[in-house]
């Protein structure tokens, strides 16, 4: 039976928050997670990684803001190896940042890089914490990552601080509920069709309904997969 592909659910998140045309929503997400009040979306510069698909990073996105390199990944389910995965992704991002800015890593001049802010967002209906902090600390390798539960029924403080994030969580919750009664395509179509008129993301999702549905839907043969 077809279901929401968990990676594709992450792609849908990036479809909303990882696009240049939606920088306003990205900034709102940043403010909600960091308890800040930045107002200029144009200060955001996305760090594009052209080969992200082949390197397994299509479900992640990153951007610079306020001297920070922000790497976001919707994990959908909690994972104890999230810090290591985000650290590996951050290395890719910094490589692209250094290349884009023409920095000479073999020279003698000091290179000032934006500080990393690693974030993983997961969707958990259980009783787990709404947010937590984890670390990678292996000898000389150290990284800290913040994890946020963005399930529609959890973590109201963060969701209420970013309306598009709450609307995304509502959409995923509706799709999951619809799947109890209809197939995946119908579940996605109905959820988008039922988006309340006052939702900030409604016009965008309705306009890109087919693309958004394609991102959510996976129809594959398990035999072929194996």
For every one of its 226 residues, what pLDDT tens digit does the chain have, with 9 covering 90 and above?
444 555 445 678 888 998 889 999 999 999 999 999 999 999 998 876 544 443 445 567 888 888 888 888 876 566 667 677 777 778 888 888 888 888 888 888 888 888 888 888 888 776 555 767 766 665 556 677 888 888 888 878 889 999 999 999 999 899 889 988 988 788 889 999 999 999 999 999 999 988 888 777 653 323 234 3
- Structural domain for 155, as ranges: 6-162
pTM of the full structure: 0.81
Q: Report residue 109 CA to chain centroid gap.
A: 35
pLDDT score of 7: 47
**Is 19 part of a structural domain of the chain?**
yes
Which contiguous run of DSSP H or E holds residue 13?
helix 6-17
**Is 199 part of a structural domain of the chain?**
no
**Is 129 part of a structural domain of the chain?**
yes
**Is 216 part of a structural domain of the chain?**
no
| Region of residue 56 (phi > 0: left; psi between -120 and 50: alpha; otherwise: beta) | left
pLDDT score of 128: 58
**Is 176 part of a structural domain of the chain?**
no
Q: How many domains, the chain?
A: 1
Cα-Cα-Cα-Cα torsion 204, 210, 213, 218, nearest 10 degrees, comes to -150
């Amino acid at each position: 039976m077809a279901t929401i592909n968990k990676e594709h659910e992450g792609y849908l998140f990036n479809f909303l928050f990882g696009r240049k045309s939606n920088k306003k929503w990205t900034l709102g997400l940043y403010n909600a997670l960091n308890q800040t009040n930045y107002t200029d979306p144009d200060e955001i510069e996305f760090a594009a990684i052209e080969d992200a698909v082949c390197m397994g990073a299509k479900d992640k996105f990153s951007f610079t803001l306020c001297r920070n390199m922000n790497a976001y990944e919707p994990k959908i389910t909690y994972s104890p190896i999230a810090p290591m995965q985000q650290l590996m992704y951050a290395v890719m991002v910094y490589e692209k940042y250094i290349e884009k800015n023409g920095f000479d890593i073999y020279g003698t001049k000091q290179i000032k890089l934006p500080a990393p802010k690693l974030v993983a967002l997961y969707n958990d209906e259980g009783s787990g914490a709404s947010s937590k902090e984890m670390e990678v600390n292996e000898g000389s390798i150290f990284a800290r990552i913040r994890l946020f539960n963005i399930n529609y029924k959890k973590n109201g403080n963060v969701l209420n601080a970013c309306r598009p994030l709450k609307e995304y969580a509502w959409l995923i919750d509706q799709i999951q509920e619809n799947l109890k009664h209809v197939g995946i395509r119908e579940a996605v179509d109905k959820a988008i069709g039922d988006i309340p008129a006052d939702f900030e993301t409604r016009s965008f999702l309705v306009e890109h309904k087919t693309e958004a549905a394609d991102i959510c839907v996976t129809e594959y043969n398990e035999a072929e997969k194996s």
